[in-house]
Amino acid sequence: MFRGSDRTRLLAISPHLDEAVLSFGAGLSQAEQDGAQVTVYTVFAGTVSPPYSPAAKRLHGIWDISPDQDASLYRRKEDIAALDLLGADHRHGRFLDAIYRKSPDGQWLAENVPGRQKVAITRQSSQNDSDLFSAVKGDIESVVDEFAPTLIITCAAANGHIDNAIARDAALFTAHERDIPMRLWEDLPHAIFGLDAVELPKGFHLGPPDFSSVKTEAWTRKCEALRLYSSQMSMLNGPGKDLFAQLEEHARESSPHGGYSEKTWSVVSREDSN
């Protein structure tokens, strides 16, 4: 996809704590090793306080976070440790994860899915909550102005999660307005099990996919960093499911030249294609 240099400034915009590492952690590590400056800005990493939704309470239990612990602080500490291992700087946004938010009618956005560890998030477009979208875009603009990236990368948001769509579209419009190249990563681990089509805002479409290989050392560092998200590993990895074996198989199948690969796409605007 690119080779890092002392002139490369890579800004990864992650919807949630752990997503950038899950989907593009080896690429972040590879870029840093090649000399790039790497920063990860996590949008929905704000400090939360009770009352929590029933879905959030259930997830806290699965994550082994007790009721008297600050779940957001706990997870931010995990993120800092993981990104430090990859050689990336961190920025944590002020916005609440959807599991802690309510819709305009006062209902929680997140609901428990009986018999499963997952929750269901109310599906809506990224701009249904125009105030939230505008605020997220404003904060992303501030981070971009501070960091002056030469490349922005974020999620494809093919998992249908509203937070991912907001983060992606806000980043997309910001990058376009500032004429900064942008790429989207494949949403992992969701892509292993199949994803919805990527639906970009009007005027934008995906370029061809890129399957650039990463070095074994970068892949190993990604896996080590993922293990530092202990709260999430309790849900993603364990008895009956081997996250790391699944990620490795997927990365090897995606790599055209052997080794490991993380899939990304460029984003093309209507103006660019004319």
The string of pLDDT tens digits covering residues 200-250 is: 999 999 999 998 889 999 999 999 999 999 999 988 987 778 999 999 999
Query: Does 247 fall in a domain?
Result: yes
Percent of the chain scoring above 70 in pLDDT: 92
Do the Cβ atoms of 199 and 162 come closer than 8 Å? Answer: no
Place of tokens 């997870």: 75
- Per-residue pLDDT at 255: 82
- What pLDDT, on a 0 to 100 scale, did the predictor assign at position 3? 55
Return the pLDDT at 104.
83
Is position 72 within any domain?
Answer: no
* Whether pLDDT at 194 is above 90: no
Give CA–CA dist 185/250, Å, rounded: 14
**pLDDT tens-digit map of 119-165:** 888 766 555 688 999 999 999 999 999 999 999 999 999 988 999 99
Is the pLDDT assigned to residue 86 strictly greater than 80? yes
What pLDDT is recorded for position 52? Answer: 93
C-alpha–C-alpha distance, residues 71 and 73, integer Å: 6
The structure tokens listed for 206 are 């995906």
* CATH code of the domain containing 31: 3.40.50.10320
For residue 49, what are the CA distances in angstroms to 52, 69, 72, 127? 7, 10, 9, 25
Total structural domains in the chain?
A: 1
Q: Supply the mean pLDDT for the chain.
A: 91
**pLDDT higher at 78 or 103:** 78
Give domain status of residue 110, yes or no: no
Q: pLDDT per residue over 159-185, tens digit each?
A: 889 999 999 999 999 999 999 999 999
Instruction: Measure CA 83 to chain center.
Output: 13
Asked whether the predicted pLDDT for residue 191 surpasses 70, the reply is: yes
CB atoms < 10 A from the CB of 168, how many?
26
- Higher model confidence: residue 197 or residue 88? 88
Q: What is the pLDDT of residues 27-40, one digit of tens each?
A: 999 999 999 999 99
The pLDDT of residue 256 is 77
pLDDT at 234: 87
Output 189-196 pairs: Cβ under 8 A, ≥24 positions apart.
189/22, 189/236, 189/243, 189/246, 189/247, 190/158, 190/159, 191/158, 191/250, 191/263, 192/246, 192/247, 192/250, 195/156, 195/158, 195/159, 196/158, 196/159, 196/160
Residue 61 lies in a domain: no
Contact 197, 189 (CB under 8 A): no
Measured between alpha carbons, how far is 141 from 133 in angstroms, rounded to an integer? 12
Domain of 239, in residue numbers: 9-47+77-98+129-273
Per the domain annotation, does 27 fall within a domain? yes
pLDDT score of 51 more than 80: yes
The angle, 0 to 180 degrees and rounded to 10, between the axes of the packed helices 19-33 and 71-86 is 30
Residue 122 falls inside a structural domain: no
Q: Is the pLDDT of residue 24 over 80?
A: yes
Q: How many whole angstroms separate alpha carbon 88 and alpha carbon 149?
A: 14
pLDDT at 273 over 90: no
Burial 209-228 (b: 16+ CB within 10 A, else e): eebbbbeeebbebbeebbeb
- More confident site: 128 or 70: 70
Contact call for residues 10 and 149 (beta carbons, < 8 A): yes
The first and second tokens of residue 273, run together, are 């294609």
Closest CA to 64 of 79, 76, 74: 74
pTM: 0.93
> Is residue 24 assigned to a domain?
yes
137: in domain:
yes
